[in-house]
Structure 1
Amino acid sequence: MQLQQVIIAHKAGNPLSQRWAQTCAKQLERRDCKVLLGPSGAKDNPYPVFLASATQPIDLAIVLGGDGTALSAARNLAEEGIPILAINVGGHLGFLTEPFELFRETEGVWDRLRDDRFAVLRRMMLQAALYESNRRDLPAVSDRYLALNEMCVKPAAPDRMITSNLEVEVDGEMVDCYHGDGLLVSTPTGSTCYNASANGPIMHMGLEAISVAPICPLSLSSRPIIIPPRSVVSIWPLEDPDLHTKLWMDGVLATSIWPGQRVDVRMADCQAKFIVLRENYSYYQTLREKLRWAGALAQYSDYPQNGTLN
């Protein structure tokens, strides 16, 4: 990999992340690399400025933070095909990030990147847009929104909890009318996040599939389903005269939905590319460690089939 122009985004409001970002910038600049540096957070999106001010192709995005910082990078950089090296600096769970221990010797990391000693993990994404009426030949009336984890349709109001009524079609065929807190349309990557909290299925990240899961449905017969990746999920908010229903992408507000509009969610035509530094990367190890499976803190080497469990 060439390191001629690099993005460094750090978690906004986190001093540790910012210090490491500045250290990385100085090291890369000494290697004749042009660096675009800035904070990323709920009120800070540096990527449009980064992309507009780049004087040459961007080789890499270094993202220092947690999963939320990595999700923002994926939404903004996937269309450009820019690989992301996400490091857990100041984050919490860290499903999408590389452990900080692999990043302490940063000069060695730059050598590994230069010598192509890493793997690239491609992750499926979703795209969504709003449409008027039930005609399928009309163009979208909104921007296209991208998400790595999930698209969510649910109401939001400052003064009360609102129950939503959402009619759902898959490829033009009626599936169900969900009455509850909302609806999640998730990728395999997002299946371990909000989707899992809503009792949706966990899908291996190597799959291409879409999960549709109701959030706290009032009917016990409303169940999550997994559908093929090329399916189009159409969601119609019903009975919403006060315009409370909104579309959320990875937990970030995308847009409000007007009466008569539908949301179409489908697999995006781009993928997020994450750099993996771990030589022994295992998806199941990630599940065990992050979700505290198999006895919470038990190590794989402690399992009975690999020895004696004390």
Structure 2
Amino acid sequence: MELKQVIIAHKAGDNHSKAWAQTCAKQLEALKCKVLMGPSGYKDNPYPVFLSSVSEKIDLAIILGGDGTVLAAARQLAPEGIPILAINIGGNLGFLTEPFELFKNTEQVWHRLQSDRYAMLQRMMLEARIFEGDRYAPRINSQRFYCLNEMCIKPASIDRMPTATLEIEVDGEIVDQYQGDGLLVATPTGSTCYTASANGPIIHPGIDAIAVTPICPLSLSSRPIIIPPGSVVDIWPLEDYELHTKLWTDASLATSIWPGQWISVRMANFMAKFIVLRENYSFYQTLRDKLQWAGTRIHFDNNHRGN
């Protein structure tokens, strides 16, 4: 990998993350690398400025923060094909990041990257658009919204907890009407986040699939489903006379949904690219470590494994 132009984004408001970003910038600049650095957070989005200010390709994005910082980076950078090296500095769970211990010797990390001694993990993303008008002659009413974890269609109100009534179609065929707190359309990466909390399926990130999970449905027969990655999921908000229904991407508000509009979700035509420094990366170990997947309360010896 060449390191001629690099983005460094640190978690906004976190001094530890900012200090490491400054250290990385100095070292990379000493290697004749151009560095674009800035904070990323709820009120800080540096990526449009970064992307509009360059004339040559960006070789790498170094994201120093937690999962929220990584999700924001993926939505902005994955469409541009920019690989992401995410390090858990200032984060909590760190499900999408590399361990900080592998990053402490930063000069060794730069050498590894330049020598191509790393793995690349590609993760599926989703895109959503808002449509309106006649079902058979729809009009596009929004930009494209992207997510790495999930699209969430859910009402919001400052003075009460409104219920959502949502009709879902998959490839033009009605599947169900859900009444409850909302609906999640998730990637395999997102299956271990909000979807898992809503009793949805956990999907290995090596599989391309879409998980559709109702949130607290008012029916015992409303169940999560897994559908092929090429499917198109259309969600129609019904009975929303007070305009509460919103589209959320990776827990960030994307847009409001007006009467007569619907949300169409499909697999994006690009993947998020994550650099893996760990030599023994395991999805199952991540589940055990991050989600405390303990299994049975009593552990028995398995003498047949031979170890």
Q: Please, what TM-score do these two structures have when normalized by structure 1?
A: 0.95
Quick one: distance in 2 between partners of 1:257 and 1:55? 36
Q: How much has 1:305 moved relative to structure 2?
A: 3.5
Match of 1:239 in 2: 239
Match of 1:117 in 2: 117
Match of 1:29 in 2: 29
Evaluate the alpha carbon distance shift between residue 173 and residue 82 of structure 1 in structure 2; reply closer, same or farther with a 3 A threshold.
same
- Do 1:188 and 1:205's aligned partners in 2 also have CA atoms closer than 8 Å? yes
Match of 2:69 in 1: 69
- Do 1:133 and 1:262's aligned partners in 2 also have CA atoms closer than 8 Å? no
For the residue of structure 1 that corresponds to 2:212, the secondary structure is strand
Q: What root-mean-square deviation, in Å, do the aligned CA atoms of Structure 1 and Structure 2 show?
A: 1.8
Evaluate the alpha carbon distance shift between residue 303 and residue 52 of structure 1 in structure 2; reply closer, same or farther with a 3 A threshold.
farther
- Do 2:12 and 2:39's aligned partners in 1 also have CA atoms closer than 8 Å? yes
For the residue of structure 2 that corresponds to 1:133, the secondary structure is strand
1:29-178 to structure 2, matched below 5 A, reads 29-178=29-178
Q: Which amino acid aligns with 2:301?
A: P
- Would you say how many aligned residue pairs link Structure 1 and Structure 2? 305
Evaluate the alpha carbon distance shift between residue 306 and residue 189 of structure 1 in structure 2; reply closer, same or farther with a 3 A threshold.
farther
Match of 1:189 in 2: 189
Quick one: distance in 2 between partners of 1:55 and 1:20? 27
- Do 1:112 and 1:118's aligned partners in 2 also have CA atoms closer than 8 Å? yes
Match of 1:255 in 2: 255
Match of 1:305 in 2: 302
Quick one: distance in 1 between partners of 2:187 and 2:159? 32
Q: How much has 1:20 moved relative to structure 2?
A: 0.3
Q: Which amino acid aligns with 2:222?
A: S
Can you list the C-alpha shifts for 1:7-65, whole angstroms capped at 9, x where unaligned? 00000011110000000000000111000000001110000000011132100000000
For the residue of structure 1 that corresponds to 2:223, the secondary structure is coil
Quick one: distance in 1 between partners of 2:140 and 2:29? 43
Quick one: distance in 2 between partners of 1:304 and 1:204? 27
For the residue of structure 2 that corresponds to 1:17, the secondary structure is helix
Match of 1:180 in 2: 180
Q: How much has 1:133 moved relative to structure 2?
A: 3.1
Q: Which amino acid aligns with 2:263?
A: V
Can you list the C-alpha shifts for 1:159-207, whole angstroms capped at 9, x where unaligned? 1111010011111101111000000000000000000000000000000
- Do 2:155 and 2:163's aligned partners in 1 also have CA atoms closer than 8 Å? yes
Match of 2:199 in 1: 199
Quick one: distance in 1 between partners of 2:166 and 2:76? 29
Can you list the C-alpha shifts for 1:225-257, whole angstroms capped at 9, x where unaligned? 000100011000011111110000000000000
- Do 1:180 and 1:215's aligned partners in 2 also have CA atoms closer than 8 Å? yes
For the residue of structure 1 that corresponds to 2:240, the secondary structure is coil
Quick one: distance in 1 between partners of 2:77 and 2:269? 13
Q: Which amino acid aligns with 1:46?
A: P
Quick one: distance in 2 between partners of 1:25 and 1:291? 33
Evaluate the alpha carbon distance shift between residue 268 and residue 306 of structure 1 in structure 2; reply closer, same or farther with a 3 A threshold.
farther
Check if 1:217 corresponds to 2:205: no
Quick one: distance in 2 between partners of 1:118 and 1:305? 34
Q: Which amino acid aligns with 1:168?
A: I
Quick one: distance in 1 between partners of 2:95 and 2:230? 26
Q: Which amino acid aligns with 2:133?
A: S
Q: Which amino acid aligns with 1:77?
A: L
Evaluate the alpha carbon distance shift between residue 19 and residue 303 of structure 1 in structure 2; reply closer, same or farther with a 3 A threshold.
farther
Quick one: distance in 2 between partners of 1:137 and 1:162? 31
Can you list the C-alpha shifts for 1:120-154, whole angstroms capped at 9, x where unaligned? 10000000000013434434110000000000000
Check if 1:267 corresponds to 2:289: no
For the residue of structure 1 that corresponds to 2:101, the secondary structure is helix
Quick one: distance in 2 between partners of 1:74 and 1:283? 19
Q: How much has 1:290 moved relative to structure 2?
A: 0.6
Quick one: distance in 1 between partners of 2:300 and 2:144? 47
> Identity of paired residues, percent?
70
Find runs of 4+ consecutive structure 1 residues off by over 3 angstroms: 136-139, 302-307
Match of 2:230 in 1: 230
- Do 2:133 and 2:139's aligned partners in 1 also have CA atoms closer than 8 Å? no
